[in-house]
């Protein structure tokens, strides 16, 4: 009973933290005076671990997106390290709440397994008390068998999601990036090794809420570099150089776009 209550409480806490925390929204920039600036480039390009990463100008939020940032069509905001929009918690999953989301799906998987185990244990107990008459045991355990079957199906869904996100953590990908890489057959410029990838997710402090990014390309270079280094802090500390690219020349690893 105590284990059940603990799992329910921990799962509820992580779900609430995921839903309540700002996932990493970038506030919209002030577009005043943009008419005088003239046309702006559609993308910005700079190097990440030997790859040329191109980021787009967001016409809705009026700024150039930092690396790994994408605009969520549901929330209508640019999100740092955008993973996906989760309808179950009603918010985006991004840089600031991804760790809580991982813990939420992992503890939900454990809860489903625990409930399934308790239900099957009750069925076996009833069957034993009936002299191992399986039909009688099943008749006495209809609710337990229904709960076990439901928990089994839920475990396949949530457990599969946990396994998938474990793979994403180890390879330093987001859900959005994973499917884009599959479509374009491109490489992942953010993978810095399994252990460092795991540390980046679980042992990197959650950054403060982000301020607006500039809409003027001439002001963006430093902000882009700062944002890139913030999201790739472990990469920089590990000695790999990450910098902005003025000429957009492609690195040895190829070209990525966000």
Per residue in 223-251, pLDDT (tens digit) is 444 455 555 544 444 434 333 333 333 33
The chain-wide mean pLDDT, for the chain, equals 83
Count up the domains in the chain and report the number.
1
Q: Which residue range is the domain that position 103 belongs to? A: 2-257
Angle at which helices 194-202 and 98-129 pack, to 10 degrees? 90
pLDDT at 30: 73
How confident is the model over 164-189, as pLDDT tens digits?
999 999 999 999 999 987 767 677 88
Mean pLDDT of 77-105: 97
Most confident of 12-16, 24-28, 65-69: 12-16
Catalytic residue among 86, 92, 103, 112: 86
pLDDT at position 133 over 50: yes
pLDDT at position 120 over 50: yes
Of the given ranges (56-65, 101-110, 192-201, 207-216), which has the lowest mean pLDDT?
207-216
pLDDT at 93: 98
Give catalytic status of residue 72 as yes or no. Answer: no
Of the given ranges (17-26, 143-152, 229-238), which has the lowest mean pLDDT?
229-238
Most confident of 17-31, 78-92, 236-250: 78-92
How confident is the model over 41-71, as pLDDT tens digits?
778 886 777 778 888 899 899 888 988 999 9
pLDDT at 188: 85
């Amino acid at each position: 009973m105590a284990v059940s209550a603990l799992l329910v409480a921990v799962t509820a806490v992580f779900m609430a933290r995921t839903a309540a925390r700002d996932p990493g929204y970038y506030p919209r920039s002030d577009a005043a005076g943009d008419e005088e600036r003239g046309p702006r480039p559609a993308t910005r390009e700079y190097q990440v671990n030997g790859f040329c990463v191109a980021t787009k100008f967001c016409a809705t939020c009026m700024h150039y997106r930092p690396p790994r940032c994408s605009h969520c069509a549901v929330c209508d905001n640019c999100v740092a390290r955008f993973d996906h929009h989760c309808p179950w918690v009603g918010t985006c999953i991004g840089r600031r709440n991804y760790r809580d989301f991982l813990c939420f799906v992992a503890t939900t998987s454990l809860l489903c397994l625990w409930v399934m185990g308790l239900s099957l244990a009750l069925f076996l107990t009833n069957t034993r008390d009936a002299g191992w008459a399986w039909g009688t045991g099943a008749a006495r355990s209809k609710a337990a068998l229904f709960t076990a079957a439901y928990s089994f199906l839920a475990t396949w869904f949530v457990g599969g999601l946990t396994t998938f996100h474990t793979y994403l953590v180890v390879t330093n990908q987001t859900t959005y990036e994973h499917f884009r890489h599959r479509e374009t057959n491109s490489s992942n410029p953010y993978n810095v090794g399994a252990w460092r990838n795991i540390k980046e997710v679980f042992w990197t402090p959650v950054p403060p809420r982000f301020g607006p990014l500039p809409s003027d390309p001439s002001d963006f270079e430093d902000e882009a570099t700062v944002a890139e280094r913030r999201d790739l802090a472990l990469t920089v500390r590990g000695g790999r150089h990450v910098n902005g690219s003025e000429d957009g020349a492609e690195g040895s690893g190829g070209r990525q776009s966000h």
